[in-house]
C-alpha cells in the first residue's frame, strides 16, 4: 500500500470522527432522551454531505486539496465494514463470565422461546413475501427474503459485514437493501419501544441499579492491570484462529464436494466464526482460572468504537440509486418484518412470559428489531427495577447470538438460499419454527 492510499484512509477516518462529533452534539442538544445511536445520525450526515447529494455542489479545499467527502472517501467507507464487523463479533463474549448450559436454560427459557420465534419467523414471513410478491413484481434475487432477519436481528453492522457474501453470490444490491431494511427495523423498535415503555411502567424507583449483564463484572480499579495491548492481542489471536478455521472449512468443503455445486462455506463471512472462537476462548480462559486476563470493559471500548465507525461508514456509502429503484420492496419487507414481530409480542407475549410479559417481551422485541443494545435499553427504560428482567435477557445471549443474532444462521442464510433455492429454504425455516414453538409448549407444560 503506498503513502497516497494510507493518506486517503487517514482522511476518511478523520471525516468519520468529525461526523461523530457533530452527531453527538445533535443528539445531546436536539434529541436528548431519545434512543437514537449517534453513529446512525453521523452516517445520515455523511450520506447527505457526500458526493451523491450536497457533495455535488460543495467542497472544502486546503492548499488546493479537497478535504471533504470525496468519492475516494466513499470507496474506503464501503470497504471498512467487512473488517470492522470481525472485531465487533470477536469481542462479543470476551471478558464475560459465561454461564453453563443449564444455568442459561433455567434462567432464560421463555426469553429463548420468544426470541427464536421472532427470529426464525422473520425468515419465514420474509421468504413468503418474496415468493408471492417480490420475485413476481421486482427484479430482485430470492435472497432478499432473508434481509428482514439479517437487518432486524443483526443490525446495520451485520448487514455491512455480509457485503462480500452478497457480492460472491451476485446479489450486488443486497448491501444497500439490507441497510435500508435495518434502518426501518431500528426506527420502528425505537418508536414502538418508547410507546410501550411509557405504557408498561411508571418508573417507581428511578434510583434502582440494574444487575450487570453476563460478565459485566470488571472492577475498574483492576483495569490498569489488564493493559489495552493485551486486549488487542487477545482479539487479534481470536481473529487469526477464526480465519484459519474458516480457511480449513472452506478447503474441506471444496475437497468433499469438488464434483458438486455445493458451496456454502465458500460464502461464509469471517465474523460469526470469530464470535464462536471468542466464546470458546473465554470459556477455556475461565476454566484455566485466567479469565480475568480479558477485560470486558476494555474490549467493549474497542468493539464499540469499531461498531460506531462501521455504522457511519456503511450508511455514508449507501447507494441512493438502489434505494430509489427498490424503495417499494424495502418498504414492503420492512413493514412485513415490523408487523410480524409486533404481532408475536402483542398476541403471544403473555403465552411465553407468565409474569410481566409486556416488559420482558419488550426487551426481546427490541433485540429482534434493533440489535441487543436496543433490547437492553428497552428493559432499562420500561422498568424502574430492571434487574429481574435483565438477568434472563443476558443469560439468553450465549444460546442466541451465536445462532441468529448475527451468528451462524444469519451468515449462512444468504448462501444457503443461493445453493438450495427460496422454496426449499422457506420450507426448512417453516419446519424449524414449528419445532421451536412445539418444543417450548411441551417444555412449559412439563414445568407446570
Of 151, 153, 149, 154, the C-alpha closest to 179 is 151
Instruction: Please check whether residue 30 is in contact with residue 376, taking contact to mean a CB–CB distance below 8 angstroms.
Output: no
Q: Give the cell for residue 381.
A: 427504560
Least confident residue range of 156-160, 161-165, 174-178, 404-408: 404-408
Structure confidence by residue, pLDDT tens digits, 395-405: 888 888 888 87
| Angle separating helix axes 296-316 and 174-200, nearest 10 degrees | 120
Confidence band of 2 (pLDDT split at 50, 70, 90): low
Within 10 Å of residue 75's Cβ, how many Cβ atoms?
12
pTM (predicted TM-score): 0.82
Q: Give the cell for residue 440.
A: 417450548
Look at residue 206 in the predicted model and tell me its pLDDT: 38
Of 127, 152, 443, 174, the C-alpha closest to 318 is 174
- 3-state SS assignment for residue 238: helix
Q: Is the pLDDT of residue 262 over 90?
A: no
What is the spatial distance between Cα 56 and Cα 94, in angstroms, rounded to a whole number? 44
Structure confidence by residue, pLDDT tens digits, 331-340: 999 999 999 9
Instruction: Please check whether residue 150 is in contact with residue 136, taking contact to mean a CB–CB distance below 8 angstroms.
Output: no
Structure confidence by residue, pLDDT tens digits, 78-94: 889 888 989 988 988 89
Instruction: Please check whether residue 145 is in contact with residue 126, taking contact to mean a CB–CB distance below 8 angstroms.
Output: yes
Amino acid at each position: 500500500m503506498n503513502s497516497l492510499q494510507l493518506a486517503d484512509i487517514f482522511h476518511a477516518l478523520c471525516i468519520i470522527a468529525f461526523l461523530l462529533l457533530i452527531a453527538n452534539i445533535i443528539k445531546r442538544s436536539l434529541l436528548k432522551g431519545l434512543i437514537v445511536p449517534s453513529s446512525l445520525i453521523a452516517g445520515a450526515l455523511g450520506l447527505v454531505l457526500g458526493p451523491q447529494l450536497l457533495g455535488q455542489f460543495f467542497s472544502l479545499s486546503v492548499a488546493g486539496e479537497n478535504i471533504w467527502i470525496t468519492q475516494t472517501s466513499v470507496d474506503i467507507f464501503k470497504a471498512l465494514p467487512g473488517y470492522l464487523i470481525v472485531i465487533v463479533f470477536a469481542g462479543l463474549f470476551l471478558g464475560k463470565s459465561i454461564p453453563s448450559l443449564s444455568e442459561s436454560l433455567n434462567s432464560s427459557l421463555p426469553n429463548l422461546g420468544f426470541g427464536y420465534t421472532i427470529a426464525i419467523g422473520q425468515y419465514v414471513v420474509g421468504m413468503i413475501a418474496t415468493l408471492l410478491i417480490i420475485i413476481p413484481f421486482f427484479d430482485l434475487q430470492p435472497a432478499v427474503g432473508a434481509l428482514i432477519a439479517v437487518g432486524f436481528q443483526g443490525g446495520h453492522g451485520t448487514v455491512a459485514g455480509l457485503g462480500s457474501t452478497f457480492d460472491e453470490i451476485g446479489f450486488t444490491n443486497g448491501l444497500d437493501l439490507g441497510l435500508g431494511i435495518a434502518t426501518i427495523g431500528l426506527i420502528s423498535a425505537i418508536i414502538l419501544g418508547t410507546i410501550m415503555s411509557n405504557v408498561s411502567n411508571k418508573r417507581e424507583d428511578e434510583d434502582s441499579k440494574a444487575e450487570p449483564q453476563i460478565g459485566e463484572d470488571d472492577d475498574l480499579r483492576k483495569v490498569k492491570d489488564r493493559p489495552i495491548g493485551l486486549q488487542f492481542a487477545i482479539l487479534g489471536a481470536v481473529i487469526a484462529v477464526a480465519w484459519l478455521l474458516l480457511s480449513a472449512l472452506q478447503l474441506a468443503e471444496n475437497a468433499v464436494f469438488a464434483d458438486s455445486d455445493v458451496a456454502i462455506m465458500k460464502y461464509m463471512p469471517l465474523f460469526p466464526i470469530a464470535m464462536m472462537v471468542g466464546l470458546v476462548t473465554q470459556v477455556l480462559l475461565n476454566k484455566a482460572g485466567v479469565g480475568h486476563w480479558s477485560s470486558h470493559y476494555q474490549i467493549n471500548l474497542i468493539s464499540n468504537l469499531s461498531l460506531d465507525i462501521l455504522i457511519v461508514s456503511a450508511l455514508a456509502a449507501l447507494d441512493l440509486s438502489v434505494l430509489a429503484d427498490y424503495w417499494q420492496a424495502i418498504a414492503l419487507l420492512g413493514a412485513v418484518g415490523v408487523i410480524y414481530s409486533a404481532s408475536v409480542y402483542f398476541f403471544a407475549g403473555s403465552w411465553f412470559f407468565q409474569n410481566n410479559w409486556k416488559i420482558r417481551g419488550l426487551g426481546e422485541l427490541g433485540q429482534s428489531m434493533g440489535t441487543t443494545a436496543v433490547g437492553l435499553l428497552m428493559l432499562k427504560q420500561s422498568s424502574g427495577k430492571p434487574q429481574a428482567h435483565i438477568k434472563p435477557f443476558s443469560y439468553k445471549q450465549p444460546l442466541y447470538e451465536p445462532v441468529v443474532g448475527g451468528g451462524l444462521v444469519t451468515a449462512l442464510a444468504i448462501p444457503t438460499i443461493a445453493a438450495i433455492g427460496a422454496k426449499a429454504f422457506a420450507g426448512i425455516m417453516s419446519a424449524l419454527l414449528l419445532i421451536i414453538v412445539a418444543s417450548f409448549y411441551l417444555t412449559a407444560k412439563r414445568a407446570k
